[in-house]
């Protein structure tokens, strides 16, 4: 997420907090992570909301972690954006 914001001129250092939750289930006798939920809190400069929302829409396409697990773990994210 930070890289996607930085690429749009929105500084991410110290301005992105992510709370992460997940579910672990027993499947065929093996514990597996089945679901990951990310709750982002973004602090962005005034006038950059559209860029930040676009970053949220697109960042997963280039995120190595998401690309690695997307076919075996359900992932979802949402964001609270504080502008100004």
pLDDT tens digits, one per residue of 66-78: 999 999 999 999 9
> What is the pLDDT at residue 56?
94
Binning pLDDT at 50, 70 and 90, where does residue 24 land? very high
Output Rg (C-alpha) for the chain, integer angstroms: 15
Residue 23's domain comprises 2-83
**What's the structural domain count of the chain?**
1
Q: What is the CATH number of the domain that holds 43?
A: 3.30.300.20
> What is the pLDDT at residue 9?
95
> What is the pLDDT at residue 51?
96
The pTM (predicted TM-score) of the whole model is 0.85
Give the integer Cα–Cα distance in Å for 25 and 2: 30
Helix (H, G, I), strand (E, B) or coil at 31: strand
**pLDDT tens per residue across span 50-68:** 999 999 999 999 999 999 9
């Amino acid at each position: 997420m930070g890289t996607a914001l930085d690429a749009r001129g929105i500084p991410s250092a110290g301005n992105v907090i992510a709370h992460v939750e997940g579910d672990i289930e027993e499947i065929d006798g093996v514990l597996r992570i089945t679901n990951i939920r990310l709750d982002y809190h973004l602090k962005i400069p005034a006038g950059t909301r559209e860029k930040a929302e676009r970053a949220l829409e697109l960042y997963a396409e280039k995120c190595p972690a998401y690309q690695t697990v997307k076919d075996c773990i359900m992932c979802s994210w949402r964001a609270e954006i504080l502008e100004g």
